Amino acid sequence: MASIAAAKILEQRFHILPGKLRVTEYFFEVPRDYNNTKAGTLRLFARGVRKHETPVEGQDQNSEDQKKKGQLPWLCYLQGGPGMEVRLSKVTSGITHFFLDKGYQMLYLDQRGTGLSTPISASTLGLRGDDPVQAAYMKSFRADSIVKDCEAIRQALTDDYPEHKRKWSIIGQSFGGFCATTYLSFYPQGLREAFITGGLPPVTAPTVDDVYKRTSAKLVQRNKAYYAKYPEDVQRVKDILSLLKRFGNNTVRLPSEGALSARRFLQLGIAFGMHDGFDNIHSIVLQSSNDLQSFGYLTRATTNTIDQSSGFDTNILYAILHEAIYCQGKQASNWSAERVLANLPGFDHEAALQDESRPVYFTGEMVFPFMLETYSELKKVAGVADLLAKDDDWSELYDLAQLRKNDIPVYAAVYMEDMYVDFGYSMELAGEIKGCKTMITNQMYHNAVSSKTDEVLAGLWKLRTDTID
């Protein structure tokens, strides 16, 4: 791959946060298109975190020894998504403290198009031009470009480091693991090691449809498990959907100005693969059912809770590029999830409402064409989303030949019950990446690195430091 020039550091200011954290807020400038540097630039934001230490009075802070002490190895956190920013709570989380205690300093990057990194919204995207221009622009916001940003930033942050210390480590959660695999494929020379949690991508899947066939099968299991835990919700969900259908798909309005259709309500199932996901969704179902019993309609408090459970309007990149994260070469997604679920009778909510013998299944981490009609912000980019779904010309995201000769240490947490990243495909890829060590468990779900931080990171660290004969 062509070398990447260092990013330009536009601004850096540090602050001390509780927990003895020294947080530096960085703004960088990078090319929007690394293959065409005349296509403009993007402004990226990241937070650097290290331990805050109060030096002994009189100690020379400008000495060469102090300079070397300040050159701690970097560990870059790659956020899940696509299209999700890194919240401040993540920066101050147990993940940070674990790795700071191991001697690293952390970098939390808002990936391009998210957070403060030239964020994508319906209004900012509209400034680019008509739908075809906007769609072409959006193709610059996938993992291959994110990894190039990381390489540019790495070079900027380690500019004064000795050559042997300029490599950095990465940790990728979910989609961040997809990005980490892209990094290993094309720019391994910048890496010291890679940690991956719930994010070994389905590189060996023949098509996008095959990805959704696997995740749909797991979604069926999770629906059955949900209703086994909360059997009373079978009828409650049907009652709620009957109300929504009676009023019509666009009648019940949400605070975000979108419409609460039956299918949109069923998208709450995206949480089924998380720790506490069942209980959180049951709480919403219970609240909605109580409204119906008490008033015959959904109150503002309830519709607000439902509205806040989704980030599709505030993070539109997640919706319009979600299926594209599985596309390489001459392959279009063509609304894959919509087509795959159409062949699974459990997800036909119309039929399920007429059949007393079976529940209505919730949907999972999937995007559908109907969302372009019921989400107020997605409605504004409907044409762009449809163009991207039909696009069959995508850049390559992975290089299996490079992964098979990989010499970068890789430590991956793989969850057998993962609803979002198929376990089977993850293990196939683990077998393809030379030297990849895996921690496999059926006791954790997809967000375990946040919900069970100590257990996950301790397991990965053991892979790094221990050995077996």
Residues classed as catalytic: 174, 418, 446
Q: Where are the beta strands (DSSP E) in 370-446?
A: 410-415, 436-441
C-alpha distances in Å from residue 322, one per residue of 57, 261, 294, 335:
53, 21, 39, 10
Which helix (H) or strand (E) is 271 found in, with range? none
Burial profile 269-302: b = 16 or more Cβ within 10 angstroms, e = fewer: bbbbbbbebbebbbebbeebbebbeeeeebeeeb
Cβ atoms of 147 and 158 closer than 8 Å? no
- Alpha-carbon distance 370 to 378, whole Å? 10
- Can you name the residues that pair with 23 across neighbouring β-strands? 15, 49
Cβ atoms of 260 and 254 closer than 8 Å? yes
**Bond from prior residue into 369 cis (ω within 30 degrees of 0):** no
Helix (H, G, I), strand (E, B) or coil at 431: helix
Residue spans of alpha helices (H) in 299-375: 300-308, 316-320, 336-341, 349-353, 371-374
DSSP state of 56: P
Cβ atoms of 401 and 336 closer than 8 Å? no
- Alpha-carbon distance 108 to 49, whole Å? 8
By residue count, the chain amounts to 469
- Alpha-carbon distance 380 to 371, whole Å? 11
Cβ atoms of 313 and 306 closer than 8 Å? no
Residue spans of alpha helices (H) in 113-166: 122-126, 131-138, 143-157
